[in-house]
Structure 1
Amino acid sequence: MNSLLKISLSTLALSTLTFAQTTMCFKENHTNLMTLEKVALDGGECNSQYSLTDMKNSGWRVDDIKINNNNYIYILKKGTTSTAFVNTNTNISQEELEKRVLAKLEAKQAQEKKEKEIEEKIMKAQRGQELYENKCQSCHGKKGELEPGLSVAINTLSEEDILELMDGYKRGTYSKGNPYQMRAYATTTTEEDTINIFNYLQSLK
C-alpha cells in the first residue's frame, strides 16, 4: 500500500447509508493532463487498478477535485444518498481529510526535494574529487589545507570566495600564491568545475 495511504487513510472507514457510497482516490506527480482520466488512481475504491474513466463507467461521479501542483485528489460518489468519511476513532470532516492528504503530499514533495539536493551535492563532490586530485592536490594538499606561495588555504573559503579567487587569477587581478601558474589552471576550469571542487572539499570536513 502507498505510504501516503498508510499515514493518512489507514484508520478511515467509509460510513454509508443504504444506497450511497463515497470514496477518495488520488494521483501523485502526474504531468500529462491528456492521460489523467486513463491512468490508474491510488487509494479508495480505485486501489491502483481503476482509472477515472473506469470509475465513471462503473457508475461513480466526480463530486469534488483538489489540485496541488501535479497532485490530484478526487472525491467520487455513487448513488443518491449523501455519505461522509468517518475516522474509526474520531469524526473527521471531508475538508479536514483533504487538508491532511494535501499536507502529506506536500511533506513528501519537500522530502523528495531535500533528497534530490543531497544527491546532487554528492554527484558534484564526486566530479570535484577527480578535478581536485588532478589539478589542485599537489600544491594545495589532500584537503585543501596548504597555503602555497602565501596564498590562502582553499578549504577555508566559501563557494563565493573560491569563485571570486579563480576569477581573479583568470583576469590577472589576484597576485598572491602562484598567479602565473594559477592563471593557466583558472582559464581551463569552468565555474561548474570550481563549484564541484568546492563541494568535494566541503565533503572532507
Structure 2
Amino acid sequence: MRCRRNSLTPLAAVAVGLLAGILGTVCLDAVHYLKYRRAGGTDSPLAWEFAPIESWEKAPDPGQVAKRLIEGFTQRRLPDGSAWLVSTVAHWSYGAAAGAAYGVLAGSLSRPSPVYGVPFGAAVFSGDYVVLPLAGLYKPIWQYDTEIVSWDLGAHLLYGVGTATAFWLLTGSRATKSARSAGGFRQDHF
C-alpha cells in the first residue's frame, strides 16, 4: 500500500505551527477589535491590544489562568504590576502553543489545507468553554448571551482558519519544491 507523505519534519511542523498560531491570534484579535470598535472604542489596534492592565481583577482570562499556574507552582502571590505582562504573554503563548499542536497534526497529513482550520478553531473554542468553567473563570456556555457566544465562536473560527492558512502557506512552497525536485511527493511503503 502506498501513502503520500508530507516531507515536513516534526520539529519543522512545530516551529511553523508556532508561527502560524501567532498569525491566527492576530486574526482572533481582529474580530475582538472589530467588536470593540463597533461598541464605540477609539484606540488604535496596537493601543487596544497592548492596553495597560492595572490589577489582576481587570486581567483577561489568559492572564488569570497563567496567574493561577504561576502562583500554584511558585507558592507566591503575583503583584498587580505583573498583570499586564503575564496576561499578554499568556494570550500570545496560548495562541502559539495551540498553533504548534495544529502544526503537529497538519504536518502529519499528506496535504494540509486551510479548510482544516474550521474544525480546529471550533475545537479550541469548545476547549475554552470546557476548561475555563472548570477553572471558575467562565460560566457554563448556556449562561451566556447568544451574541457573546457567536462573537467568540467567530473569533475562534477565524483563529483556526488563520492558523491553518498560515501553516499551509508557510509549508506550501517547501512541499512544492520538494515535489518538483523529487518528481512528486515522496512515496513510502507500509
TM above 0.5, yes or no, is no
User: Per residue, is there more strand in 1 or in 2?
Assistant: 1
User: Per residue, is there more helix in 1 or in 2?
Assistant: 2
Q: Which has the higher contact order (CA 8 A, sep 6+)?
A: 2
Mark the structure with the bigger radius of gyration: 1
Q: TM-score, normalised by structure 1?
A: 0.27
Q: TM-score, normalised by structure 2?
A: 0.29
